[in-house]
Amino acid sequence: MSKILYLLNYVGKGGTEKYVLDLIQSVGPENCLFVYSEEGPGLDDFVYAKVKMFQVKMNGPFDLKAAKQIKQIVLTEQVDVVHAQFLRENYVAILAKIMGAKCKVFWTYHVDVPMGKGIRIINKIMTAFNTKVITVSRFMYQQLEKKGVSANKLKLIYNGVNGPAVSYPLNSLGEVPVISVIGRLREEKGQVFLLKSLAVLRGLNPGYKWECHIYGEGPQQAELVSLVNELNLKNFVHFKGFSSNKEKLYLSSDIVVIPSSNEALSYVGMEALSYSRVVVATNVGGLPEIIKNRETGLLVEYGDVEELANVLNSLLTDQELVQKLSKYGRIYFDQHFTLAKMIEETSGLYKQ
């Protein structure tokens, strides 16, 4: 069995850490190593996973000292595959390979970030040493091509999640429909956009009852609470904080809104489809690859307050549309976004 080293700079509690933990559990912790640079709130999850860990300080993408340490770990632990998660870690892993670490190096591109001309040129040189560069959406594939990575190095593998074994189709919305938004409370997640749209929704259908549940924590919380009061939405919007009970969260929701300004893909989108919830998402990044407009959910343009309000109003008043999106969303999830599919395709790459 190959031994795989997963390389990550900062250990938070986001989608990247979930991705790495899912792969470690599938490969088997006894066959894996986890190397990180900076401790963060997600480190305990890796301790709990019982994977062997090393801390290597990576002070930048060209940290030769870190590369030498990675090389030594690869040789001592007889590592076959190094799987890096961001550009810094990928460059350090490639330097370790150039220095003599006999291993394959993979890089998963999780977050779309701006890259200047210099980085694009360096990408072309450095990623020639990658076995493959995994992109989590077709959108990210196209972005990396623009950023200097050769198409013959790129491999699209959608992220996947463990959905419920049974489906929970919506025949109708609840008596008081619940509109949920899930994610860190920060600007790019679009909660301000959603709240402004909810204020318009109230005007479109003043007599209709509904609630909005905001799940998550983050730096924008005070601003969002203030905006709720300013928009006279206090009786409609409820801040639920962070929730680890995924099943309870989704089954208590009717409509899940993803109002982000930027998304590489979206774990929330995949999870919501797996629970047959109706999803409304912005037409950005990789979201249109999960949400096919009027087939698996509904798409709106980011920032168009009137459009989002009208789309939500149509769901509150169109039972047939709710049933259709609930049913076909789950079917599309089963075809494209299961954890088993992601694991099978990624493991297949390791073995090439």
What averages of pLDDT result for each successive group of 10 residues across the chain (352 residues)? 92 92 96 97 96 98 98 97 97 98 96 89 96 96 95 96 94 94 95 98 90 96 97 96 93 97 92 98 96 97 98 95 97 97 95 86
| Tokens 């709240």 belong to residue | 195
Q: How far apart are CA 281 and CA 196, in angstroms?
A: 15
Is 323 a member of any domain? Answer: yes
Q: What residue numbers bound the domain in which 107 lies?
A: 4-160+338-351
Contact 105, 93 (CB under 8 A): yes
350 is written with which tokens? 């390791």
For 122, half-sphere exposure in the C-beta direction (CA atoms, 13 angstrom radius) is 13
Q: Considering the entire predicted model, what is its pTM?
A: 0.91
pLDDT at position 206: 86
Is 202 a member of any domain? Answer: yes
Is 167 a member of any domain? Answer: no
pLDDT at position 275: 98
Residues in the chain: 352
Question: Are 150 and 238 in a shared domain?
Answer: no
Question: Are 189 and 110 in a shared domain?
Answer: no
Query: How many domains does the chain fold into?
Result: 2
Q: Could you tell me which of 147, 129, 127, 130 has the C-alpha nearest to residue 139? A: 147
pLDDT at position 1: 64
- Domain with residue 120: its CATH number is 3.40.50.2000
Question: Are 235 and 111 in a shared domain?
Answer: no
Q: Could you tell me which of 8, 21, 170, 168 has the C-alpha nearest to residue 87? A: 8
Question: Are 142 and 218 in a shared domain?
Answer: no
Backbone angles phi, psi at 238, to 5 degrees: -130, 130
pLDDT at position 305: 98
Beta bridge partners of 237: 212
pLDDT at position 114: 86
